[in-house]
Amino acid sequence: MSLLVVGLSHRSAPVSVLERAALAADAQTKLLQDTVAAEPATEAAVLATCNRIELYADVDKFHAGVAELSTLLAQHSGVGLEELTPYLYVHYEDRAAHHLFSVACGLDSMVVGEGQILGQIKDSLARAQDLHTAGRLLNDLFQQGLRVGKRAHSETGIDRAGQSLVTFGLEQLAVGTDVGVWAQGKKALVIGAGSMSSLAAATLARAGVAEIVVANRTVERAERLAQILTEGDDTAVAARAVPMDAVPGELTRADVVVSCTGATGLVLTAEAVAQAVEGRTGQPAAELADTAPATPHGKALPAAGADENCPLDLAAAQPGFSVMGEAAVAGLDAATLEQHAAWVAGATVDRRERRTPEADAELITALAATAATVGRIPERRRPEPAAGIPRPAPSFFLLDLAMPRDIDAAVHRLAGVRLVDIESLAEASADAPMATDVDLVRRIVSDEVAAFGAAQRAAHITPTVVALRTMAADVVAGEIARLDGRLPDLDERQRGEIRQAVHRVVDKLLHAPTVRIKQLAAEPGGAGYADALRTLFDLDPETVASVSRAVDSTDKKDRPA
């Protein structure tokens, strides 16, 4: 069997694809179950975070394994295989271990060196263990990955190379100002009560915000987080919990909003944020002058399904986006864009009152030409202000850490509002300086990969060595029994001396070969030594297999819950 990982991340796929491929908890469970039920795989684990979805498996065939894992990812993510395939990466054997260890150290994170990934890897392993989809190989891999990550953080200064996604996001909100100074006296609304939201709330509390309101669908979890924030030694802050239906009212009182939920649709639409701005200022939310047409947030947005004869798939459109605006058409192929441009050009008087369809048609036609050249257009979410018109200083700050997104990307166009999300974090972190400690961590990863490979290859031959020694012990026992029958007059002391002498001879004969074969098996290409040993000593394959099953059973029994 061999280790295989198939996945996509912020390094291989645009955010628009990642958020569509995001897996809810139930989908992850079903994916694991279906993977181990598939023919090529015997073990499976899923690592799903805000910027990566990876499926790890122990497979007996490489090509069949890649095909099956890719198909399963597409089926459970809801993104077609043909569309998903260009963004997938594949790692096999040592390269797969190298990838996970790099991920565990934060080398592959959006913010290099962030430590939260260790908790996510631990959760992935726990889920696979609970579902009994993680066997010996994946347990060893993930547990060593956790050790490698901890080693990297304790032996190097990788923490200085980057911060957690939360800290980095708050720094982007603060726009060059020290986060502690920026946060003083502000009121914060945290939507969600999971691990990322809890980290955000604690970070805001330590930064010095005056109040934190936690909103969650399960109010009990929100209350528990609020209590922890209030009673914590380093997070003591005025905190309270509210249900999700209280969010619109809380938006008008908050200065900072952090959202990270598991919702599959938008939690905050552009309209909701615009209404909050109006509630805060008493004035309708102004829209930034822009080189691209914008969605009219100062009044009710057109519902995605309200326009007839639109060539878009309106059922899949996110609420809060104008079906004529740029966000609605991002990622479409050229033919559909051209159809859409023609539809917009023939807009009715009613739509013309809401927007200028000629401007939309011109934009969409240009986008169609781009798509015809480069295939598909990426989503363009932060507009460039018109020349000579500065963007006003923000007074309302939103941090969206969810995947798929919680907050409508069109919020970028509201004056006085600053939205930082996964995509903008990715762009900002791409230019972040790399610390010299990164090289040290890379060396640690390389050493640990070599050690892991050697241990796995040595473990592969252990059942064969055990079976050989078992066979030798059976031969000794048979010969001693035969000797007892031929020499019945020997006393017990004599019989004991003979047994010890025979055992010593067998142990000495087997010691050097078994030690040497374990050393050879640990080297690259050493897997063939087990086959040679079985052939030379005519070992029963079922005996070797039974030893392997016994070792696996012991590993599971001793494994921490």
Task: Decide if 72 contacts 36 (C-beta within 8 A).
Answer: no
Does the annotation list 303 as a binding residue?
no
Does the annotation list 16 as a binding residue?
no
Taking each helix axis from N to C end, the angle separating 437-486 and 136-155, rounded to the nearest 10 degrees, works out to 140
Distance, in Å, from the CA atom of 208 to the CA atom of 160, rounded to the nearest integer, reads 22
Task: Decide if 137 contacts 42 (C-beta within 8 A).
Answer: no
DSSP label at residue 503:
H
Does the annotation list 114 as a binding residue?
yes
Task: Decide if 16 contacts 330 (C-beta within 8 A).
Answer: yes
Q: Of 50, 105, 260, 310, which is the active-site residue?
A: 50
Distance, in Å, from the CA atom of 24 to the CA atom of 5, rounded to the nearest integer, reads 19
Does the annotation list 197 as a binding residue?
yes
Does the annotation list 120 as a binding residue?
yes
Does the annotation list 192 as a binding residue?
yes
Q: Which two structure tokens, joined as six digits, stand for 309?
A: 């004869």
- Strand 256-259 relative to strand 396-400, pairing: parallel
Helices then strands (H, E): number in the chain? Answer: 23, 10
Does the annotation list 195 as a binding residue?
yes
Q: Which two structure tokens, joined as six digits, stand for 561?
A: 């819950």
How many Å from the N-terminal Cα to the C-terminal Cα in the chain? Answer: 25
**CB contact set of 43 (below 8 Å; sequence gap of 6+):** 36, 57, 58, 128, 133, 134, 135, 136, 137, 138
Helices (H), 375-436: 422-430
Does the annotation list 29 as a binding residue?
no
Distance, in Å, from the CA atom of 310 to the CA atom of 360, rounded to the nearest integer, reads 14
Residue 174, CA distances (Å) to 178, 179, 180, 225 in order: 7, 6, 9, 24
- Give the three-state DSSP class for 458: helix
Task: Decide if 94 contacts 447 (C-beta within 8 A).
Answer: no
Does the annotation list 309 as a binding residue?
no
Does the annotation list 139 as a binding residue?
no
Helices (H), 346-381: 349-354, 357-374
Give 67-132 as a 3 state SS string: HHHHHHHHHHHCCCHHHHHHHCEEEECHHHHHHHHHHHCCCCCCCCCCCHHHHHHHHHHHHHHHCC
> Other CB atoms closer than 10 Å to residue 233's CB: what's the count?
5
For residue 65, which of 94, 97, 99, 42 has the smallest C-alpha distance?
Answer: 42
Distance, in Å, from the CA atom of 549 to the CA atom of 365, rounded to the nearest integer, reads 63
For residue 561, which of 23, 134, 105 has the smallest C-alpha distance?
Answer: 134
Determine whether 50 is an active site residue.
Answer: yes
- Give the three-state DSSP class for 520: helix
Q: Which two structure tokens, joined as six digits, stand for 248?
A: 């619109």
R_g of the chain, CA atoms, integer Å? 30
Does the annotation list 194 as a binding residue?
yes
Q: What share of the chain is helix, strand, coil (3-state, %, to 5)?
A: 55, 10, 30
Dump the DSSP string for 34-75: HHHHSTTEEEEEEEEETTEEEEEEEES-HHHHHHHHHHHHHH
Strand partners, 190: 214, 258
> Other CB atoms closer than 10 Å to residue 489's CB: what's the count?
5
| Residues in binding site | 49-52, 109, 114-116, 120, 192-197
| Residues in binding site for NADP(+) | 192-197
**Active-site residues: which are they?**
50
| Residues in binding site for substrate | 49-52, 109, 114-116, 120
